A and B are shown apart, each in its own frame.
Chain A
Amino acid sequence: MAEDIRLMKGNEAIAEAAIRAGCSAYFGYPITPQNELTAYMARHMLTRKRTFIQAESEVSAINMVYGASAAGARSMTSSSSPGVSLKQEGISYICGADLPAVIVNVARSGPGLGGISPGQADYFQSTRGGGHGDYYHLVLAPKSVQEAADLTYEAFDLADEWRMPAMILADGLIGQMMEGVVLPADRDLAKLPKRPYAVGHQGETGREINHVSSINLVPLELEASVRARFERYAKMKETLVRFEEVQVEDADLVLVAYGTSARVSLGALQEARKAGLKVGLFRPITLWPFPEKRIAELAGKGKRFLAVEMSMGQMVEDVRLAVNGKAPVDFFGRTGGVIPTEDEVLEAARKILGK
């Protein structure tokens, strides 16, 4: 039977979706604007006798995730920008050891301590492998409380399937606002995907000894393992890319925006259409892998683009790479925790279209 719709904060919906996805170990450290997520996990993981630890730092939290994942748990951590910076060391190790994990960034504005208002300036850090070494990981960007819950739920399966961290890149607005949400069904922990590479229970099964590690001092061997990982990335680019399009087909100008700025851009699009301007919206849902093929296709059809972000322009670089000089790409952004208004975006669109 389908669940009833409930009114929930984004942070709590993410937490509940994670629990239902079979998250069996959660490690967090307080930081605004994601505190409700950790508090929700404390109450509900402990009630269900699953592992919850308030770690001494984000550094520890991500390394607890590393250990718990290596031992077979669906493990998760959440934080906000400064805390996610601290997790980057651990994320690099998790990628180097090919472990699944779910990492939620309810992003705020930076750099440094910055502010606690919503931001999208962590795009580079999230999509470029924010730690050291040659790696990427999945990055999913929700635009609503419902999508935050759905993507979190799915992130656990994707992380297992691709053996890498799946990051939910939300922002303070998605985390803090309340919307109606229908939650997915509870997963049976006994029926989750098996991890033959995990440690533990070796004596019962008699399997080979498992070593979870990222070290390899032999350059040719290390190169081969990095290359193998990149083959996996190539497959992900073929099969996993996700985006949403609104009135793109007949558009002269396509707004490209994700998360909160996509909500604003949708409003601007509706106003533009009322005024007779042919504006469309392209919303990447997977920030990595980025929907570069589709954007290139649209560029080939003569569209021009306006990237809208809550930053000084980060995703716009991926748009430009995808377009590869075939069409003009403009940018409009607000930063420092300022959310652009529909009017501002509409104004930017008008200027480009000369109307």
Chain B
Amino acid sequence: MELAYGHPKSLKPIQTKYCPGCGHGVIHRVIAEVIDELGLQGRSIITNPVGCSIWADLYFDFDSVQPAHGRTPAAATGVKRVLPDHLVICYQGDGDLAAIGTAEIIHAANRGEKFTTIFVNNAIYGMTGGQMAPTTLVGQHATTAPFGRDPIEAGMGYPIRVLEMLATLGGTKYLARGSVNNAANIRKTKQYIKKAFEAQMRGEGFTMVEILSQCPTNWSMDAGESVEWLEKNMIPFYALGEVKNTLEEAAK
């Protein structure tokens, strides 16, 4: 009898270091499933960022390149230009992508670099212990926004909708936002990732999937509460769905 559903080959069968309820592990699994379905394990490379998911290279069963904080898209550019027939995954957190690495992501997107960015938006700096991220919501608490993110009096700025910002750039071909709060959204997120990976392998241009993800530890919640919080607060601000899709007609 054929096994219909099992552990993805591209993901090692070991326990992760991620906290209970963390979104990174689910996102890793979905990526690995898509890679298996596309038969790309031996031709995949991840650039794993500085952030909690720096550990991604322990879990994915394929090659990896670990760059400096925020420079992930620059390093992924170097890798993909040298290995254009490989699947290159530029995995980034919100601090990595939308704060320290803002220049790198904008210009990689604008050049139409043919890798796929997986942007894990948990509205917080996970690894360093809960500081405010560019995507932290107004009023949301962080160790560096102890009274809540205050854009006006404290001058903490507003949460950045990265995809909407990148959508204006000519090099971007596919930008979609998913979430890992429930099974239905995980399935949709997987479809977005698959479209993005397929587009990458056709060499269409810059593709990115943003994924809303729980960080129960730094949101000071248990796993269940964090899912609820994401649904009540993040999804209304960061609308789910395809933000831009200018892929070849057939692929849409």
Contact B43 A199 (CB under 8 A): no
19 pairs from A and B in contact (CB 8 Å cutoff): A27-B78, A53-B81, A56-B104, A59-B71, A59-B103, A63-B71, A64-B74, A64-B75, A66-B67, A66-B71, A66-B74, A67-B79, A67-B82, A75-B78, A93-B67, A97-B66, A200-B45, A200-B82, A210-B64
Q: Nearest Cβ in chain A — how far from B111, in angstroms?
A: 7
Stretch at the interface among B54-62, B148-156, B157-165, B237-245: B54-62
For residue B45, which residue of chain A has the nearest CB? A199
A94 to B153, CA, bound (A): 42
Q: Nearest Cβ in chain B — how far from A206, in angstroms?
A: 8
Contact B54 A202 (CB under 8 A): no
Which of the residues B43, B67, B107 comes within 8 Å of A67, measured between beta carbons? B67
Which of the residues A25, A56, A213 comes within 8 Å of B103, measured between beta carbons? A56
Q: Is B47 on the interface with A (CB-CB < 8 A)?
A: yes
A214 to B64, CA, bound (A): 12
Please, which residues of chain B bring their CB within 8 A of the CB of A209?
Answer: 61-64
For residue B90, which residue of chain A has the nearest CB? A67
Q: Nearest Cβ in chain B — how far from A129, in angstroms?
A: 16
Q: Is A310 on the interface with B (CB-CB < 8 A)?
A: no
Q: Is B20 on the interface with A (CB-CB < 8 A)?
A: no
Please, which residues of chain A bring their CB within 8 A of the CB of B71?
Answer: 59-60, 63, 66, 89-90
Interface size class of B (residues with CB under 8 A): 20 to 34
Q: Is A277 on the interface with B (CB-CB < 8 A)?
A: no
Contact B68 A56 (CB under 8 A): no
Contact B64 A69 (CB under 8 A): no
Contact B74 A63 (CB under 8 A): yes
Q: Is A254 on the interface with B (CB-CB < 8 A)?
A: no
For residue B58, which residue of chain A has the nearest CB? A211
Q: Nearest Cβ in chain B — how far from A145, in angstroms?
A: 29
Please, which residues of chain A bring their CB within 8 A of the CB of B111?
Answer: 53
Please, which residues of chain B bring their CB within 8 A of the CB of A90?
Answer: 68, 71
Residue numbers of B with Cβ under 8 A of A are 41-43, 45, 47, 54, 57, 61-68, 71, 74-83, 86, 103-104, 106-107, 111
Please, which residues of chain A bring their CB within 8 A of the CB of B65?
Answer: 66-67, 70-71, 199, 211-213
A:145-200 near B, CB below 8 Å:
199-200
For residue B63, which residue of chain A has the nearest CB? A199
Please, which residues of chain B bring their CB within 8 A of the CB of A200?
Answer: 43, 45, 63, 79, 82-83, 86
Please, which residues of chain A bring their CB within 8 A of the CB of B43?
Answer: 200-203
List the 9 closest pairs (A to B, CB-CB), nearest first: A203-B42, A67-B78, A68-B78, A67-B75, A63-B74, A199-B63, A63-B71, A213-B66, A71-B82
Given contacts A24-B82, A53-B81, A72-B82, contact A63 B62 (CB under 8 A): no
Please, which residues of chain A bring their CB within 8 A of the CB of B62?
Answer: 202, 209
A58 to B74, CA, bound (A): 11
Q: Is A73 on the interface with B (CB-CB < 8 A)?
A: yes
Q: Is A218 on the interface with B (CB-CB < 8 A)?
A: no
Of residues A75, A212, A215, which shows the largest number of chain B Cβ atoms within 10 Å of its Cβ?
A212
Q: Is A85 on the interface with B (CB-CB < 8 A)?
A: no
Contact B79 A60 (CB under 8 A): no
Which of the residues B67, B82, B83, B86 comes within 8 Å of A63, measured between beta carbons? B67
A200 to B82, CA, bound (A): 9
Q: Nearest Cβ in chain A — how far from B63, in angstroms?
A: 4
Q: Is A39 on the interface with B (CB-CB < 8 A)?
A: no
Given contacts A53-B81, A203-B42, A203-B43, contact A66 B75 (CB under 8 A): yes
Contact B78 A65 (CB under 8 A): yes
* Mask of A73-96 contacts with B, CB within 8 angstroms, 1/0: 101000000000000011001000
Contact B103 A60 (CB under 8 A): yes
Q: Nearest Cβ in chain B — how far from A26, in angstroms?
A: 11
Q: Nearest Cβ in chain A — how far from B74, in angstroms?
A: 4
A110 to B169, CA, bound (A): 37
Please, which residues of chain A bring their CB within 8 A of the CB of B104?
Answer: 56, 59-60, 63
* Mask of A38-58 contacts with B, CB within 8 angstroms, 1/0: 000000000000010101110
Please, which residues of chain A bring their CB within 8 A of the CB of B82?
Answer: 24-25, 51, 67-68, 71-73, 75, 200
Contact A214 B66 (CB under 8 A): yes
Q: Is A204 on the interface with B (CB-CB < 8 A)?
A: yes
Q: Nearest Cβ in chain B — how far from A290, in angstroms?
A: 28
For residue A56, which residue of chain B has the nearest CB? B107
Please, which residues of chain A bring their CB within 8 A of the CB of B78?
Answer: 25, 27, 63-71, 73, 75
